A and B are shown apart, each in its own frame.
Chain A
Amino acid sequence: MTEAITTYLDQQQLPLPFCPGCGHASILKALDRALVKLQLKPENVVLVTDIGCVGLSDKFFITQAFHGLHGRSITYASGLALAQPSKNIIVLIGDGGIGIGGHHLINAARRNMNLSVLVFNNFNYGMTGGEHSVTTPAGGLTATTLVGQIEQPMDICATAAVNGGSFIARTTSFDNDLSEVISEAITHPGFSLVDIWELCTSYYAVKNKFGKKTIEETLERLSLETGILQKNEVKSFYTSYMEKASAVQKAASTHDHRIEISHASQLEQAVKISLAGAAGEKIISAARAFGQGAVRSGLYVSQRDDYPVTVKTGHSLAEVILSPSPIKYTGKRIPDVLIILFKEGLQKVAGLLPALTSEQCVYLNAELGEINTAARVRLLNFQHSGALHRRKEAYAVMALAAVLNEEDWYPVEAYQAALLSRKRFAKQYTAALDAAKRVLEPTNG
């Protein structure tokens, strides 16, 4: 049997560096007593600190130490808690750190991250000269509140508690049961917070004649309780995550996107096809299957999608390049073939139309009226598609199949195969491919 550990303080590093009477020393001694009581292996305890006088604390312990950036200790602790779920992750943070990193406190509480936060709350920034912090009481004199704090103090416990923190306690450094509360926080599975009120004997206590008694009066004036304020049994983030991990696989419905070359293409030169439609009308997925059909036919494909940040309104544009050789550059501006299906798409590509010449061809939904362009124009008449005329989300597949029938870049059977591999929509696609044979108006003369 190994000998009991009688202290976790590192005798070689002592004495503690704090000002005479500073509450930090008594809190660290209480933490030491808590660790002695729990007899945790030093390698299983990680003290995570950030900036401020409290940030000096970790080196005085024989445990693991992580000393990071101001206010971010809870984020490092969260990563550690997920990577080392069996270790005890203890954050030692000041009221300054809570101010700058309050967002992390709220979210660690909400997630129920398996870590303990001990707040060394002395109502000001001791390390930088006694500036006010988020917990400075109203009226408090500090280096930056020359005639008294006009802001209301943050209630750290209430903030963490209302956001679901599963263990919440408030104590003072003078309380006899401080080490008991700390050890209970450490052993609590999930998030725990102990807000420990104490004195900064260089600044706040001096300027405000603040002592043990004033702390008690302030607590009373603000109607704040001490002791363990909230204790709930809630699964930690890590436990819940691991329990749900296998269910993710079912929910994700990933499938194999690999494509076997099954057809052949006679395409000799790269061709760029732009499909201009409207959001929500399956433009991008129709184009993706069109590209997959080309890959099935041995072609190289690139597809660039463009839509507004709002996603479900406005235009939807798919720019597809088919090439017999690998595509190194996708920036060609002018498409060889431009398919315009809806007015949102027409508006999006309107600027391109004057740049087109008889080299290019526009396939235009006849319902959009006349366009002004020097390009050859072919009309797509979806009235000929029968029942699908009213199904605007089928236009993209019909248009691409009709154009493919006409241009013969690769066999339409390959497009069909790519579409029908999406079994959920197979019936719909079969109807669209059939109707595609009827929608292209013959050329005039």
Chain B
Amino acid sequence: MRELMNGAEAISRAALDCGCDFFAGYPITPATPILLTMVRELPIRGGIAVQAEDEIAAIGMCIGAVVGGRRAMTATSGPGISLYSENLGLAIMGEVPLVIIDCQRMGPATGAATTTAQGDIQFLRWGTSGGYPLIVLAPPDVEGCYHTTVEAFALAERFRTPVIVATDKETVSTYATIECETLKPNMAVQRPILPADVPYRIFDPQHLDNVLPLASMDTHILRFNTSSHDPEGYLSKDPDRLSELNEHLESKLLHHREEVERYSYQPENDASTLLISYGIAAGSMQAAASQARKQGTVVSTLTLITLWPVPEDILESAMAEVSTVVVIEMNNGQYAREIERLSRGRHEVLSVTSKNGLLIQPEAILQSGGVL
């Protein structure tokens, strides 16, 4: 059995299959279809979907619902991510497992609402005060939307962190042919809960990279605190406590980078060029690689699914095999900065970008100077 499905539907189905039982969103092109699906599907499953008064309230309600024990998701686009910004910081600080779908459209500001782009990539990582890490995953296609959303729920619970699925207008609204049996979660999404007899604690000062289970309001008195706090949730400005908390928020992700790295790497023997891409642009990269092959040139390709934390292990090892790296993305060269940083001048790093909303033409990659 097959089905014609777009990314918005694939994301919604993944959320439902992961036991998502709370959704709050605000209508915005091109994320609205996810809101519509959740409004339709959640009530009959005992869940709740709310159209909030704005994006600030949407993510705020999700955070409240998660603290109250629900499993939540929200979906928006660039202008909504701008409004999510303060609460993304709160979700990082409060260690709230939450899945956020960013259906990117062209910016800046209102931009071109029905035009695809990947211009939020650095903003998603650095758009909160303090600059503490979260996870950003980019599905390469419609089927990837399903599996990446499942991964997002699993990683959100594993690390008690907001996870952003950075997709785009093209992927969420273009229909693709899907084999129905492939749309099953390939992992269980579990939420460890603090046992009733274990005292409430948010993090462990002895093991700062550990993630402690969420506590339930049915068994514990919770102290959720967006201000700097000690392990019990009480406000603290003691330099030692501040250092512990902030080290915890960083190391719980960065010390476990290998658990977060998701990618698809197709190395070719004797290739001197590595193409790197993610999301919708990865399709352009694959088309370019097969055209190059027809013309007698082989290149290695690396499709990144995890964008943040930067999957440095695979990038380092894949880049060690080549002299030229071409980074392909539908923005102004945002992720190429990370590749240049990791290259430390050892490679020719070329950037193929697009600013007109059209998918990157494979020819533009072939003519970038790094392939043919």
Given contacts A80-B65, A300-B177, A303-B175, contact A72 B60 (CB under 8 A): yes
* Chain A CB within 8 A of B284 CB: yes
Contact of B217 among A56, A64, A82, A309 (CB under 8 A): A64
Q: What is the bound-complex CA distance between A34 and B175, given in angstroms? A: 57
* A window 20-58: CB within 8 A of B: 42-43, 46, 48, 56, 58
Do residues B217 and A87 form an inter-chain contact, with CB atoms below 8 A?
yes
Inter-subunit contact A76/B70 (CB<8 Å)? no
The reply to whether B226 and A69 form a contact with Cβ atoms under 8 Å apart is: yes
CA distance A258 to B222 in the complex (A): 45
Provide the residues of chain B in CB contact with A308, threshold 8 Å: 114
Q: Is the CB of A309 within 8 A of B67?
A: no
Q: A288-B4, A303-B4 are in contact. Are A80 and B67 (CB under 8 A)?
A: yes
Note all chain B residues with C-beta closer than 8 A to A46. 217
- Cβ contact of A257, chosen from B3, B65, B141, B234, cutoff 8 A: B3
- Is the C-beta of B254 less than 8 angstroms from some C-beta in chain A? no
Contact A252 B3 (CB under 8 A): no
Task: Judge whether B121 is part of the interface by a CB distance below 8 angstroms.
Answer: no
Most-contacted residue by chain B among A245, A331, A333 (CB, 10 A): A331
Q: Within 8 Å CB of A425, what residues of B?
A: none
Chain A 320-341, CB within 8 Å of chain B: the 1/0 string?
A: 0000001111110100000000
Of the candidates B40, B66, B70, B226, which one forms a contact with A67 in the assembled complex, judged by CB atoms under 8 Å apart? B226
Q: Is the CB of A43 within 8 A of B218?
A: yes
What is the size, in residues, of chain A's interface with B at 8 Å between Cβ atoms? 65
In the assembled complex, which residues on chain B have CB atoms less than 8 Å from the CB atom of A81?
64
Query: In the complex, A288→B176 CA distance in Å?
Result: 11
Question: For residue A231, which residues in chain B have a CB less than 8 angstroms away from its CB?
Answer: none
Interface of A is mostly: mixed
| Nearest CB in chain A: distance from B84 CB, A | 12
Question: When the two chains form their complex, are residues B48 and A67 in contact, meaning their CB atoms are under 8 A apart?
Answer: no
Q: With a CB–CB cut-off of 8 A, which chain A residues contact B61?
A: 75-76, 78-79, 82
**Contact among B50, B66, B176, B358 with A302 in the assembled complex (CB-CB below 8 Å):** B176
Are B1 and A327 closer than 8 Å at their CB atoms? no
Q: Does A66 contact B (CB under 8 A)?
A: yes
Task: Assess whether B3 is in contact with A331, with CB atoms less than 8 Å apart.
Answer: no
In the complex, which residues 75-113 of chain A have their Cβ closer than 8 Å to any Cβ of chain B?
75-84, 87, 103-104, 106-107
Instruction: Find out whether the CB atom of A303 lies under 8 angstroms from the CB atom of B2.
Output: no
Within 8 Å of chain A (Cβ to Cβ): is B362? yes
> Which partner residue on chain A sits nearest B143 by CB separation?
A326
A59 adjacent to B235 (CB under 8 Å): yes
Q: Are B69 and A84 in contact (CB under 8 A)?
A: yes
Interface residues of A in 293-323 (CB under 8 A from B): 295, 299-306, 308-309
A295 to B44, CA, bound (A): 30
Chain A residues with Cβ below 8 Å from B360 are: 331
A42-B221, A249-B44 are known contacts. Are A302 and B69 too (CB-CB below 8 A)? no
Contact A82 B362 (CB under 8 A): no
Alpha-carbon separation in the docked complex, A301 to B4 (Å): 8
Whether B22 pairs with A79 at a CB distance below 8 angstroms is yes
B53, CB-defined interface residue at 8 Å: yes
Asked if A150 is at the interface (CB within 8 A of a chain B CB), the reply is no
Return the chain B residue nearest A251 by Cβ.
Answer: B40
Is A427 positioned at the interface, with any CB of B under 8 Å from its CB? Answer: no
* Contact (Cβ within 8 A) A75 B4: no
Q: In the bound complex, do residue A75 and residue B57 qualify as a contact, i.e. CB atoms below 8 Å apart? A: yes
Query: In the complex, what's the smallest C-beta–C-beta distance from B2 to chain A, in angstroms?
Result: 5
- Chain A contacts for B57, CB-based, 8 A: 72, 75, 78, 103-104, 107
Q: Which of B5, B22, B60 contacts A76 (CB 8 A)?
A: B60
Residues of A contacting B53 in the complex (Cβ-Cβ under 8 angstroms): 103-104, 106-107
Q: Is B86 an interface residue (CB 8 A)?
A: yes
Residues of B within 8 A of A245 (CB): 43-44, 46
- In whole angstroms, how far apart are the Cα atoms of A64 and B200 in the complex? 11
Docked complex Cα distance between A306 and B112 (Å): 13
Which of A103, A260, A329 contacts B1 (CB under 8 A)?
A: A260
In the docked arrangement, what's the CA distance between A138 and B362, Å?
65
Asked whether A59 and B60 contact (CB < 8 A) given A67-B227, A103-B54, A303-B174, the answer is: no
**A103-B53, A246-B44, A258-B3 known; A65 and B223 CB under 8 Å?**
yes
**Which of A77, A288, A330 meets B174, CB within 8 Å?**
A330
* A66 to B24 Cα, complex, angstroms: 19
Chain B residue at minimal CB-CB distance from A304: B174
| A-B CB contact pairs (8 Å), 25 listed | A59-B234, A65-B225, A67-B224, A68-B60, A75-B56, A78-B60, A79-B22, A79-B70, A82-B48, A83-B65, A83-B68, A83-B69, A84-B68, A107-B52, A107-B53, A248-B44, A252-B40, A257-B3, A299-B177, A300-B177, A304-B170, A305-B173, A308-B114, A309-B29, A331-B283
Q: Which B residues contact A (CB, under 8 angstroms)?
A: 1-5, 22, 24, 29, 39-41, 43-44, 46, 48, 50, 52-54, 56-57, 60-70, 72, 86-87, 90, 113-114, 141, 170, 173-177, 180, 217-227, 233-235, 283-284, 286-287, 358-362
**Interface, chain A (partner B; CB < 8 A):** 42-43, 46, 48, 56, 58-59, 62-69, 72, 75-84, 87, 103-104, 106-107, 241, 244-246, 248-249, 252, 254, 257-261, 288, 291-292, 295, 299-306, 308-309, 326-331, 333
